[in-house]
Every structure is written in structure tokens, then in C-alpha cells.
Amino acid sequence: MKRKTIQNSFTLSGIGLHTGTISKITVKPMPDEHKGIIFIKNDIEIKADVKNVLTTKRSTTLGIKDQSIKTTEHLMSAIFALEIDDLYIIVEGDEIPILTGSAEPFCDALKKAGIIEKEGEKEFFVIDEIFEFKVEETGSEFICMPSEYFEARALIDFKSPVVNKQFAEILDIRTFCEEYAPCRTFGFFSEVEELLDQGLIKGGNLDNAIVIADKKLSDEDIKRFSKKLNIDKIDMEEEGILSTIPLKYPNEPARHKLLDFMGDIALMGMPIKGRIIAKRPGHYANIEFAKFLKQKAVKQKKLKGLPKYDPTNEALFDIYDILDHLPHRYPFLMVDKIIEMGEDYIVGIKNLTFNEQLFQGH
């Protein structure tokens, strides 16, 4: 499968969620080089890679030297889902614009720019065995298993009567832009109010975010919150949900968590073939998991083409079966067991132990 970039450049601008200032990004094709996704800020190149993650507090921040870019996850999720490998992203400002609080504007802009193939083959990280990864600090768990395509499921569990346990699942990455990208970021009332009091999330509003009540809200609570957002009046359209736009899906928070997860693991730097179940994902846990996947990908690349041998698997023929088939005896019995057979090949194992003649005298 060929690598992909875009055909035409495009620019998006808007307010930043955390800084409240206007940011602009210009996304450009990378037709010739195979450098991956490269952010550029003040002429400094910052590769979209887990090694360049500076912090995961409230969003994922990439940086190098004295340059940093906040809130990369929504843009990266769109790039990952559209299977784009190489881009330049010039950033003017301190963060990626929040826009609608989702990945939808990025999906739309990337598709409109034209996604094209280029020279060079994609290199996938292939999940070829079942394994799991836990992040004790957050109680997060990631379970991986083989699949021919990328599939993912996110399970969330919040102590809230409104959003308690939810899950979202993507089985076909081609459905991302329509069914997952529009889902907005969210936060809980108590947490959001505290951040507003601290002068943070200056670009947040009820158009680009969902606020979920984590306690019973009085009229006074809502009135006070409205004032902090400079809104005349907030109506609670759905039980426990503060937003100017109705929920797009009953499980919109879980879908957004899946969106964030995809944007974060994109920083491992390779497309993935495999199924991942993410329990209680979050930026910190996602990035720790992405680091783990990258280590496995490096190891997989080193072992590419080499036969895999699991000593715990039962042999097709053990030493006694071989003795029944061959007239040879020690020391000319050169095979101890047969582990695999095909139409035109046989894989056998010979154990080298200290009693072998080649070791005598050493």
C-alpha cells in the first residue's frame, strides 16, 4: 500500500481552547520526502512523535527546544483516520484551533485538499499476538489482539449519574469522519468551573464543548456558570447536559474519547493493523501506551523476516516420533522436534546443550 499525502495546501484559523487566542495552521503536502507528520513553529520542526510529547495535562502538547504546540489530538485523529502519512503543518500560535471541539473540520479540510498516493510503501505495525498494557496511575488498561484492519473500542467509567459507563467502537476506519469526528470534547461541571476560575480554558464555550453535571445543579449554579461564560442564559436541554447543541449521539462522550485515543496513538508514527480495547483511556495513559507500541514496533522491524518460535507450543513430532521415522541415532540424530510443516517446507529444532562435542574442552 502506497504512502499518502494531500494534493493542495489549506489554512484553518480559530481560537485556542486553553489560551483563548487566535491560532492558525497551514497544512501542506509532502510529495517527495518520507518524514511523517511534521509540525513547524517559528521555523522549528517538531515531528508528531511520542518522544516529543511535553505534557498531557488537559490535552496533548508536542514540543522541542523552546517551541510547543498544545491540543494536537483532534487534528492527529483526522490524519490517522484518513491514513495520511506525510504532511507539513505550519502553526502560528500556541495551539491547534479548537474550532468545533471535534475532529470534523480537520477531516473536511483534509478531504477537500485531496488525499493522494505518493512514492513509497506504508509500513504498518502489525499486532500479531494478544497482549495487554496497564497504566497503574490512572487505572487504564489496553488489550490488543490481531486483526486484518485497525479496530478500536473505548470504554469509559465516570462517577456521574449522567455519564457513567459508556463505550464506543470503530470497526471500519472509513466511518470515522462521518460517525466519530463530529463528537465534541467534554468536561464535568465542577472541573470546568474550577478551570474557568483559574483563568484557563479561555477559548471554551458551549458551542465547542459539552459540560456534564457531576452533581445536582441549582438555578443559582447555572446562573453563576452562565456569567463566567458570558452567556445570558443556559438551558439544560437534556438531563445533566449543558450545551447549546444537542448531543449528536447518546454516547458522544465515549466517541470523543475514542477520537482522542486515535489522535494520541497516532504519535507512535505508524498505521496499525490490529484490534485495541481501551479501558478508561486518557491523554496520559494513551501516550504511555503509544510509547509501548512504538517499542514493540521497533522490535518487530528488527525481527522482520525472521521465523518466530514459541517454545511453549506443542511439537508436531517429538524426539520419539522422529526416532520412529529415521534410522539415525545420537550423535547423528540432528533434529529434536518438528514444530511446523507445510506443503514444501519443514521447520525443525535442534537443541545445543553442554554435552555436544563442539563444547567439550571449552
CA-to-CA distance for 183 and 100, rounded, in angstroms? 9
CB 109 within 8 A of CB 12: yes
- Mark whether 328 is an active-site residue: no
Q: What is the pLDDT along the chain (362 residues), one digit of tens a residue?
A: 999 999 999 999 999 998 899 999 999 999 999 999 999 999 999 999 999 999 999 899 999 989 999 999 999 999 999 999 999 999 999 999 999 999 999 999 999 999 999 999 999 999 999 999 999 999 999 999 999 999 999 999 887 777 778 999 999 999 999 999 999 999 888 888 888 888 888 888 888 999 888 777 788 888 888 888 888 777 665 667 888 888 899 999 999 999 999 999 999 999 999 999 999 999 999 999 999 999 999 999 888 877 777 777 788 999 899 888 888 887 777 888 998 888 888 888 888 887 777 777 66
- CA distance to 72, 97, 330, per residue, from 114 (Å): 21, 21, 67
Kind plus residue range of the DSSP H or E element containing 68: strand 67-69
Q: How far is CA 217 from CA 127, 237, 241, 319, in A?
A: 46, 13, 11, 73
- Prediction pTM value: 0.87
To the query of whether residue 18 is one of the catalytic residues in this protein, the response is: no
Sequence spans of domains, the chain = 2-182+252-302, 185-242, 319-359
Distance separating alpha carbons of residues 283 and 255, to the nearest angstrom: 15
Q: Where are the alpha helices (DSSP H) in the chain?
A: 73-81, 104-113, 176-179, 189-197, 219-228, 252-265, 283-302, 319-325
Question: Cell numbers 522541542 label which residue?
Answer: 64
Q: Which of 266, 268, 275 is nearest to 170 (CA)?
A: 275
User: Domain 2-182+252-302 belongs to what topology?
Assistant: Ribosomal Protein S5; domain 2 (3.30.230)
